[in-house]
Amino acid sequence: MKKTLYLLTTTLLLSGLSACSLSEKSYTNVDKDAYLQNASQAETLLRGIYAQLGTEGIYRMNLGILLTIPTDEAKVEGSTLVGPREQASNAYTSTDSYVQNTWATLYSAIYDANSFLESMQLRRNEFPEADLQKCDYYVAEARALRGLFYFELVRWFGHVPLITHTEESYRLPGEFKQEAPEKVYEFIEADLKAAAEVLPWAPDDKVRSDASFRLSKGSVLGLLAKVYATWAGYPLLDTGKWELAAETAGQVVKSGKHALLSDYEQLWKNCANNVWAPQESLIEVSFYAPQSNASSSGRVGKWNGVSAAQGSIKGNYNSAMYKVHPTFAAAWAKRQDDLRWKLTFADYKYTLNGKEAIQTATVNGKTTNISLEMAIDEGTEGWAAGWRRNFCWQLVPAKWDIVKYVDDANQIADNNYSNVNWYVLRYADVLLLYAEALNEVNGGPTSEAYLAINQVRRRGFGSDVNTYSSKADLRRGMDQEEFRQAIRDERSYELAFEGHRRQDLVRWGIYAQTIRKTYEGLMDWHEQAPNYFVGAQYTIEGKNELLPIPLHDIDLSGFNQNPKW
């Protein structure tokens, strides 16, 4: 049989077609023997797998922004289910094209990883001796990427088919079987552990000529720690995995190979201009596309940035569909001196007149720009409940302010796309996972747990991360539950709007109830505020912790649907 390598070249086929979506792809057929002959060619194919991270169904839109929106932090713009508001409000069904696209894209990425790994197994021993270590790195990267794709599948969809070889993708529809989530996690664990054994720490990489935005030992171990923390939580509740989460995150923390950037704002300057800072950025999707190439650029800052009217910015306009709950900002504002607060919320917009406040009011007889601080502070002279209304539907994230952070040379003059990168995993996330896992394992916080969370807090308060801060450091003597809540709050503040909150709430087993509490709390902000949280009407406990298995695949393969779908 002729050995072939299949490269994805066109769009995914979606629901309604006759073939099962686990293998629905359009391919270019390339002879493995004729092409895959050295490390350079292997690297080219590997970059194709990395490119899957930036597709619409994964981090370009669906798993980076759209499907992560409804939480206690954020909601979608508007009060009706028009266009993608349906997906951003948990109002979709099992026939939804966005859900189907995410499912199909993840399996396409897994197919590409499987194909690459099989090709390398066939050809490695024929490569020049000088290429072998590079190729071992490439194999490790492909396994880690496959682990990441399966991690997204299992935590979003639950019981999913486990396909480990390309030939399995060509089964008859009725031959595909859903695997127990535990088995999928075991497969992910094996991939990530194998990759971590081979890949170097980012600062020690002397083999890859350009390791920018590539996986390293630290990024893989950090991802594995997140996998263990998710495995330990809802719905599997395998609490024995907390010990592995602490051990794995601890390897990253104790390695001395990674660190927090000294300036929190530098994170947003970096991702806005394709600056790779591997000391903190562990997994990052680069959307840099200097030719305004829509196939490789992203939506960061367009959907989840600061609102910009038509023609008001170089990129024409920002839809800014991603909106912030003002109650989240108000609760966080009680923690004084946290410098991240002002960098996280934008109480302004861009118009043809320039930068303007989202709310103005007449105060003492003159028109005044109403800041977020003024809207929160009921003691402000002239404060009135009416000030707060616009903040219900116009407050947006500030982290990806294209006008503020993106250099002119990096601007894309396009309505829908930007060159702003997306963080999938940061070192701050690993520090907080480490603190959380130590608290769970030991029945309360240890000194290492305090140090890990305090380093994140110290930077947030503008202090040196290695020096005690009376402003930033948590009080000693917390019990397990108090420290657990401190971790949950800190993850919300540090990682706000970065795509983590929904899955955090799910693994903590409090997603639906948190949505309900948020809805109830919005009434205290403004009487109309609950009207703008459409997702609260559609979020059901025991249902929306998972996405539905696409009906198309259920019909073809006889899969069991997730509960209540």
Mean pLDDT of 220-230: 99
Mean pLDDT of 91-114: 97
Pair of tokens at residue 477:
């003597």
Supply the mean pLDDT for the chain: 91
Pair of tokens at residue 79:
């009060």
| Beta carbons of 114 and 146 less than 8 angstroms apart | yes
Predicted local distance difference test score (pLDDT) of residue 29: 40
- Res. 291 pLDDT band, cuts 50 70 90: low
> What size, in residues, is the chain?
565
Q: Give the CA distances from residue 406 to residues 272, 293, 398, 401, in Å, rounded to whole numbers and listed in that order.
A: 5, 17, 13, 8
H/E element, 156: helix 132-157
Phi first, then psi: what are they for 294, rounded to 5°? -65, -20
Q: Give the CA distances from residue 233 to residues 33, 36, 137, 181, 510, in Å, rounded to whole numbers and listed in that order.
A: 45, 42, 32, 13, 11
Mean pLDDT of 155-172: 95
Residue 478's closest CA among 506, 454, 502? 454
- Comparing 114-123, 125-134, 343-352, 405-414, which segment has the lowest mean pLDDT? 405-414
CA distance linking residue 219 with residue 196, whole number of Å: 9
Strands (E), 341-417: 345-346, 348-351, 354-357, 360-363, 366-369, 396-397
CA distance linking residue 395 with residue 100, whole number of Å: 31
Predicted local distance difference test score (pLDDT) of residue 295: 66
- Res. 384 pLDDT band, cuts 50 70 90: confident
User: What would the pLDDT profile of 246-275 be if each residue is shown by its tens digit?
Assistant: 999 999 999 999 999 999 999 999 999 999
pLDDT above 80: residue 385: no
Predicted local distance difference test score (pLDDT) of residue 327: 97
CA distance linking residue 4 with residue 503, whole number of Å: 38
pLDDT above 50: residue 311: yes
Coil/strand/helix, residue 368: strand
Predicted local distance difference test score (pLDDT) of residue 443: 98
Distance of CA 426 to the CA centre of its chain: 10
Pair of tokens at residue 549:
């298995």
pLDDT above 50: residue 557: yes
Mean pLDDT of 512-521: 97
Mean pLDDT of 218-223: 98
pLDDT above 80: residue 524: yes
Predicted local distance difference test score (pLDDT) of residue 362: 84
Query: Do you find a cis peptide bond into 235, omega within 30 degrees of 0?
Result: yes
Which domains are seen in the chain, by residue range? Answer: 1-214+522-565 (1.25.40.890), 216-282+427-494 (1.25.40.900), 308-420 (no CATH)
pLDDT above 90: residue 518: yes
Predicted local distance difference test score (pLDDT) of residue 523: 93
Centre a 10 Å sphere on the Cβ of residue 125 and count the other Cβ atoms it contains.
7
Predicted local distance difference test score (pLDDT) of residue 9: 27
The percentage of the chain sitting over the pLDDT mark of 90, rounded to a whole number, equals: 82
- Res. 293 pLDDT band, cuts 50 70 90: low
Centre a 10 Å sphere on the Cβ of residue 124 and count the other Cβ atoms it contains.
16
CA distance linking residue 502 with residue 62, whole number of Å: 13
Phi first, then psi: what are they for 527, rounded to 5°? -60, -25
Mean pLDDT of 549-559: 95
CA distance linking residue 400 with residue 494, whole number of Å: 15
pLDDT above 70: residue 12: no
pLDDT above 70: residue 20: no
User: What would the pLDDT profile of 316-366 be if each residue is shown by its tens digit?
Assistant: 899 999 999 999 999 999 888 999 999 999 999 999 999 999 999 888 888
Phi first, then psi: what are they for 298, rounded to 5°? -125, -165
Q: What pTM does this model have?
A: 0.93
pLDDT above 60: residue 18: no
Predicted local distance difference test score (pLDDT) of residue 292: 58
Higher-pLDDT residue of 334, 100: 100
Beta-carbon contacts of 151 under 8 Å, excluding residues fewer than 6 positions away, are 188, 223, 226, 227, 230
The percentage of the chain sitting over the pLDDT mark of 70, rounded to a whole number, equals: 93
Residue 453's closest CA among 477, 421, 429? 429
